[in-house]
Structure 1
Amino acid sequence: MSGRRTAHGTGPEPAGEGRALLDLPEVPPPDAPEALVLADPVPPRQGRPCGNRRCRRPVGTPYPGTPVRYEGYCPHCGTRYSLLPQLRRGEPLDGGRYEVRGPLAHGGLGWVYLAVDTRLRNRPIVLKGVLNPHDPEARERMLEERNQMIAIGHESIVRIFDYVPHRPDDGRTPADYIVMEYVGGRSLRGILEAAGREAGPFGSGEPLTLEHVARYGCQILGALAVLHDRGLVYSDMKPDNVIHRGDRVVLIDLGGVQRPDDPDRAPVTTKGYAAPEVEDGGGPTVAHDVHTVGRTLAELAGAAADGGPGAAGTGLGHDSFHRLVDRATHARPERRFSSAAEMSGQLEGVLRELVSLRTGRQYTRPSDVFAPTHALLDAGLGAVPDLGRWRGRRARAYRGTVAAPLLDPGRPTPSRVAAGLPVPLPRRDDPAGVQLRLPAPQDPRAVVRQMESFLDGDEDGYRPSVEVRLRLCRAHLEVHGHLPPGDRERDGRLREAEDRLREAEEILGLPSGRDSVPDWRIAWHRGLVRLARDEVEAAEEHFAEVHGALPGEYAPKLALGYCAEHRGDLDRAERFHHAVWRRNTQQGSAAFGLARVHLARGERERAAGVLERVPPMSRHYDAARIAAVRIRAARLSPGRDGLPDRRGLAAVRRELPRLVLDAGERARLEAEIREWALDWLQRAAAAGGTETGDTAEPAEADGAHPAELGGDLFGGGPGEPPTERGLRTLLARSFRDLAHQPGVTRSRSEHLVDCSNAVLPRTWFVRPAEEPTR
């Protein structure tokens, strides 16, 4: 797995980054191998099936009032059986090459013995035989295990070295043994048992956490994906069959490995881990393996220090982890993950979320199922306002105390969000999958024309494309989202989107409406259509379905964060936006969503701080810097509590020159900021400032000295605070500059000139006294 994604994914990632994320802490050195030999080996209490193919009734099982007979003859057909270990300490095999040390355990099919390879300096190895040497079917299955596994070389699957027949000299039943590597370490069952102890399973007081559990799951699923690629299933996944060795895990006990739904083999499973359909008599499948991994992860999470609801430090990651387990263990096989690779991809996403939320560092990776979107889910907060901002302002409002307008927090409309959310990548098995991954036109109307041409293929005998119809649905929604309310075309576009979605549902044989469906793509597009209809609560239900199906993806969290924000549930909105933002600080839409949540709570500094942390490599960097400047300068609410403070205005004065703006944008932004600053200066002075001539110096200490505001933006000489007269003069100049910008209409220019004249400081002319007549 080093340097590339083997379990899932569409491309390479930085060498070593993926492996480092999945590395586990080293467990304390295991005991010497011989210390693990069982002094009193006890056969399985549930017995084993009789070796007679026609009988197969259990033998070696307890009966009331009688001791268990671990060897003897089947009481039903008389076939001989023995469930006791067949090899003795010191017994040689293969001409003395292997020397037995004793039994270690019994697996699903046979006893496992510790031995040494005398030709390799007594290197420890493992011998595996059958529990009942009189069972020819068990022997056949062991040979099949050897044949299937001998060619697989994977670091997380136990290696098979050799195969030896053994014919004891004392008349005991001949048997065959697989020679396997000795995996020194601790089983996950031992990890579970140690998790409750004070020292912790990893020593030094380090407890088992959800991050460890997710790493176990990713490595297990990587190994299972190798088996699945070879047409095999593992069947009997459980904590007992996984060894933590070094910083990796190794799957042992391969006795249950078989072809899916093999009618000639009884499955090797364990109650409590097996899927319901297998417990009801069905054969093991990939879906069954997924279920067993889910049950294993659930058991490990139950012992984790942060595995309980509301555990500190996990944030949304806890919920995402348990949603993944819920899908993996769903009662209906078609609702589970379709493969170990798909589950591994989602679990790795959950792991990245957990680590990001705990450390504050981003752990991002391109999504396998969603294409990145260039759209910013924002309604103007990160843009310089146009001249329409002053359209409704009367000039006379600037003569006395200026009441600057409130800052629009920039929450986009639901229809704009529907058009701007990330786009699902087309499935490669779709008839048009290859063509849909090619660059598409920018204009959504052109996309509609292009996609309509693909529909002609349906009439030529090709399999109907679901992805083409979903792409058409999104294109119509995009046109709808950019049309103004009341436009005649708007409703028609929405109906077209719904019709194309309905066609996709019919092709898949799914019910239309709000019913839950196993295909997350349909649920996603249902959510988009509901958003376009302004039915936000209904949309939220569909996006929650997608979150349950893809708990490791950021796209459904982004959608759910917006829905919660729209409903006014700020805590829930913050939880989703924060999880996306922590995992990838380039996600501008999450940063703006989180900033809007802080603004709704009046948390100016936190809102600006989030946007200032958008990295320069993000395409939304400039918008975030503009938004941060506006937030620090703005009036957020009526009354004095909504006004900026000196510290924020001082930061604005420092940051504004660094913004990349053209001359017109800079003039408009300066005018907006000066208007807010004048409002602040007047009201702060009226509330208790000291006035010296025309200087109004607010009295409250709010983090910056008034002199720090001096300069070209707010006026005031070197080391001197701004004054109302100076600010009025600068704002008047700003209005005149805006009035003479290219493209400004005559009426708007006249209005801006009137505003300039109104805001100018008043000047009193005093007629000189007349000289007396002589």
Structure 2
Amino acid sequence: MICHEPGCGGAIEDGYCVVCGTAPAEATMVSEHTASVPDSVPTEDSACAEPGCAGTIVEGYCDECGTAPAARTATSAASSRSTGTARASGRSVRTGRSSSSKASVRGRLGAGMVEVPRLPRIDPTTAIMADPEVAESKRFCGKCEQSVGRGRDGEPGRTEGFCPNCGTRFSFTPKLSRGDLIGGQYEVAGCLAHGGLGWIYLATDRNVSDRWVVLKGLLNSGDIDAMAAAMAEKRFLAEVEHPSIVKIHNFVEHTGPDGIAVGYIVMEYVGGTSLKQILRARRDTDGGYLPPAQAIAYILEMLPALGYLHSLGLAYCDFKPDNVMQTDEQLKLIDLGAVIAMDDQDSNIYGTIGYQAPEIAESGPTVATEIYTVGRTLAVLVMQVPQRDGHFGDLPAPATETLLAKYDSLHRFLLRATDADPEVRFSSMEEMADQLTGVLREVLSADDAVPRPGMSAYFGPPRAVFGAGTHALVTPGAVVAALPVPLVDPGDSGAALLATTVGSTPTELESALEAGLRSVLTKRGESMEIPLRLVRAALEVADPAEAERRLDGLAETLPGDWRLAWYRGQARLLAGDFGAAHTEFDAVYAALPGEPAPKLALAAVAELAGAESATREASRYYDTVWRTDHAFASAAFGLARLRQARGDRQGAVAVLDQVDVASALYTEARIAAVETMLAGRPSTELSEPLLRDAGGRVERLRLDSKHRVAQVRMRVLDAALTWLSAGKAPSVHDPLLGVSLDQDGVRTGLERCYRDLARESDDMWTRFELVDRANAIRPRTTL
């Protein structure tokens, strides 16, 4: 075969040209066999001919298996007749065309953890309003926000007029009609909607291939403030370039029939569905709200866009479900009418009551006011927020909203985001995203019990495990030694010095740091990490008074810093003041609702407190931490202890069985499970299946210590002897731990265990006692 590429003429070998390297067209490769190829290539929208596939041909490819049918048919026919010089298959594999059950990661939001339903792009012409009109209930004065244009005495309200409160002119009638040409370039197709600052129109751009665009005009052409806001948009929005923010193409003016020039912003058309519409559809279908994971995923997708605006010194001001639109698998911020520079002290601030922060009239737009709108939006998406005067009011409490009772970390997140004190809210969109991602992990794990661990930006991993094993005691010292440590700020002037300094007490550390500390303070300024490390050193040597003294000295330097509360909680815990420790750890939880560390600390404090209500709280926190991240093995053992204490042996064993085989605590968890199954059970609660289950677990253990082997085997055999002594007999005569399940066999097994323990003991009197027990338990024989 000869290559038919222009200017070539090389020979085709192994399916490719030896001169230019081109793979020839399928028709060329078929060559003289073309006549024998069946003329049955599937056409567009026809059924795929691939065996076992039920897909449809779309854009030349099967929408299920991804096969290119024309290439497959021609090539398969040719290859069956060729001499073997062509490729054996013409099957092509393409990404993004398969509709198999395995979802694409691109279609997942919320750090790739949530599968959000994809929404098709909406045909622009179907979005045009047939009768553009602003409902009377939504007519408000643009200046004083009082109701205008309302009907009276059975007569409809005026769509144009003057506000009876402040005298400002209002107009709710569209200023553009179908066919109007704006700026000599944009032909109006109709009205799409009306927003806080005016009507929104659909148009085509005659200068750019008739692409669809959106024109946003003023609500009131006579409103000077509204006109100024539009001009502000013209200045600011030219800077905005973000994939999750609607693109501004142009700014044009058009003189209406009244001779007044009106400004219009020209934006890209985002043919999607707003979160408000998605929420409304959900409520119309089953009366509910968005699943928390889906709503959180939406918010997480938009936080980088808001953070980007903040990096430009801009505030969005009007974040709400109406202004976030989903198209296919992408979300975008739309309607930038309220965007304002954060340092703008003169322009009016536009927003929506119920979403806006209460202090914005005095403080102006800030990151804190933006955080507030995000928190309010998330709340509205997931639950019923009471309304007052037509606007959303205060958040409900867990006592009345089951969602908040189920997802405590989500409740804490919403409380911090919408706190009345701006200083309490999250400090940035990045911090908010960090914590909301942690909350999402907990929400998903609570729903399906699948762990979703994640790296923390605030804490290191757990340093140890407290309460592990069958007889381990939970003590304040063990808890403090196991809790994660706050990460050192790498930008701190003392970070490098701390990384190279060792010491076990505050005095030793100060001595080791003394030489380098002068250099650090001279060259880079005062370090905050070094004083905190000295606090931790005091805690590590169980000196809570010294830790408290140093924390008091840092209170003015680091006011409100969550690390002070974290370390003070540990100091109070070591001092035995469980109530005060709980208060400090709870403050850390409120500040960092997505972190597992404060929940683990709260669980340990509640368990140590011992009250019934505290024990329930401990179980809840242990359960949350363990479900989300199996790296926190302390939570597994704690949850198992508390379940066993209330008589739920099955639940305790279930959580111990979840400790991964790769964990260093795997064996301890399996031994603890056996202990939980059998400890303290009377003969009436024992059964043959239970004994054989426990015996099988012990046989599967790999223990290096003969002492541990003897102990755990003895627990099973002792329970078996109790069962047999109650007159029970096995239904199956299989051995249990290598001995027959009868009185003589079990006693012989117990005798061996006691003698093994005696040989392993270093204490003479203990050996004597164990040998006496072996002699007492051995089966009696007759001569």
- TM-score class, shorter-chain normalisation, is 0.7 to 0.9
Matched, 1:166 2:166: no
Alpha-carbon distance in 1 for matches of 2:166, 2:675: 88
Q: Of residues 36, 39, 52 in structure 1, which corresponds to 2:128? A: 36
2:92 corresponding residue in structure 1:
none
What does 1:319-358 correspond to in 2, within 5 Å? 319-358=408-447
Distance 1:417 1:255, change over 3 A: same
Aligned-pair CA distance for 1:661: 2.7
Distance 1:461 1:677, change over 3 A: same
> Retained in 2: the 8 A contact 1:33–1:184?
no
Letter aligned with residue 325 of structure 2: I
1:499 corresponding residue in structure 2:
549
1:468 corresponding residue in structure 2:
530
Aligned-pair CA distance for 1:324: 1.0
1:284 corresponding residue in structure 2:
365
2:342 corresponding residue in structure 1:
260
Normalising by structure 2, we get a TM-score of: 0.75
Letter aligned with residue 568 of structure 2: R
Q: Of residues 587, 591, 600 in structure 2, which corresponds to 1:545? A: 587
| Partner-residue secondary structure (3-state), 2:552 | helix
Matched, 1:744 2:762: yes
| Partner-residue secondary structure (3-state), 2:325 | strand
Alpha-carbon distance in 1 for matches of 2:200, 2:642: 59
Letter aligned with residue 178 of structure 1: I
1:388 corresponding residue in structure 2:
none
Please give the per-residue CA displacement for 1:51-75, whole angstroms capped at 9, x wherever unaligned: xxxxxx8899569989987767999
Aligned-pair CA distance for 1:288: 0.1
| Partner-residue secondary structure (3-state), 2:638 | helix
Distance 1:313 1:277, change over 3 A: closer
Alpha-carbon distance in 2 for matches of 1:34, 1:602: 62
Alpha-carbon distance in 2 for matches of 1:79, 1:325: 38
Alpha-carbon distance in 2 for matches of 1:457, 1:276: 47
Unmatched 5+ stretches in structure 2: 1-104, 386-395
| Partner-residue secondary structure (3-state), 2:315 | coil
| Number of aligned residue pairs | 663
Matched, 1:293 2:312: no
Q: Of residues 669, 674, 679 in structure 2, which corresponds to 1:635? A: 679
Aligned-pair CA distance for 1:418: 1.9
Distance 1:647 1:444, change over 3 A: farther
Normalising by structure 1, we get a TM-score of: 0.76
1:692 corresponding residue in structure 2:
none
Distance 1:602 1:261, change over 3 A: same
> Retained in 1: the 8 A contact 2:214–2:268?
yes
Matched, 1:605 2:650: yes
| Partner-residue secondary structure (3-state), 1:148 | helix
Alpha-carbon distance in 2 for matches of 1:598, 1:212: 32
Alpha-carbon distance in 2 for matches of 1:372, 1:749: 42
Alpha-carbon distance in 2 for matches of 1:308, 1:188: 24
Q: Which has the higher contact order (CA 8 A, sep 6+)?
A: 1
Matched, 1:649 2:691: yes
Alpha-carbon distance in 2 for matches of 1:62, 1:38: 21
Letter aligned with residue 736 of structure 2: G
1:182 corresponding residue in structure 2:
269
Letter aligned with residue 381 of structure 2: L
Please give the per-residue CA displacement for 1:269-310, whole angstroms capped at 9, x wherever unaligned: 22222112114x320100000011111222222249xx9958
Alpha-carbon distance in 1 for matches of 2:201, 2:515: 66
Aligned-pair CA distance for 1:136: 5.8
Please give the per-residue CA displacement for 1:129-163, whole angstroms capped at 9, x wherever unaligned: 33344556644543442443334333321111223
Distance 1:733 1:464, change over 3 A: same
Distance 1:313 1:282, change over 3 A: closer
What value does the CA root-mean-square deviation take over the aligned residues? 3.9
Aligned-pair CA distance for 1:336: 0.6
Aligned-pair CA distance for 1:197: 1.5
Farther off after superposition, 232-241 or 602-611? 602-611
Matched, 1:576 2:621: yes
1:239 corresponding residue in structure 2:
321
Alpha-carbon distance in 2 for matches of 1:454, 1:619: 38
Aligned-pair CA distance for 1:89: 1.9
| Partner-residue secondary structure (3-state), 2:432 | helix
Q: Of residues 167, 173, 183 in structure 2, which corresponds to 1:94? A: 183
> Retained in 2: the 8 A contact 1:427–1:467?
yes
Alpha-carbon distance in 2 for matches of 1:276, 1:199: 33
What does 1:528-543 correspond to in 2, within 5 Å? 528-543=570-585
> Retained in 2: the 8 A contact 1:415–1:534?
no
Matched, 1:194 2:281: yes
Distance 1:73 1:312, change over 3 A: closer
Please give the per-residue CA displacement for 1:221-276, whole angstroms capped at 9, x wherever unaligned: 23212212222211111222222333343211212222224213222222222112
Please give the per-residue CA displacement for 1:348-405, whole angstroms capped at 9, x wherever unaligned: 2222211111122222211221111141122543xxxxxxxxxxxxxxxxxxxxxxxx
What does 1:696-707 correspond to in 2, within 5 Å? 697=729, 705=731, 707=733
| Partner-residue secondary structure (3-state), 2:660 | coil
Alpha-carbon distance in 2 for matches of 1:194, 1:451: 63
Alpha-carbon distance in 1 for matches of 2:237, 2:365: 18
> Retained in 1: the 8 A contact 2:747–2:777?
yes
> Retained in 2: the 8 A contact 1:586–1:615?
no
| Partner-residue secondary structure (3-state), 1:161 | strand
Please give the per-residue CA displacement for 1:314-368, whole angstroms capped at 9, x wherever unaligned: 6965222122111111010010111112112212222221111112222221122
Please give the per-residue CA displacement for 1:635-655, whole angstroms capped at 9, x wherever unaligned: 236x446x7643343234333
Please give the per-residue CA displacement for 1:205-233, whole angstroms capped at 9, x wherever unaligned: x9622222222221232321221222221
> Retained in 2: the 8 A contact 1:732–1:756?
yes
Matched, 1:675 2:720: no
Distance 1:125 1:45, change over 3 A: same
1:701 corresponding residue in structure 2:
none
Letter aligned with residue 45 of structure 1: R
Letter aligned with residue 415 of structure 2: D
> Retained in 1: the 8 A contact 2:217–2:263?
yes
| Partner-residue secondary structure (3-state), 1:113 | strand
Distance 1:606 1:78, change over 3 A: closer
Matched, 1:733 2:752: yes
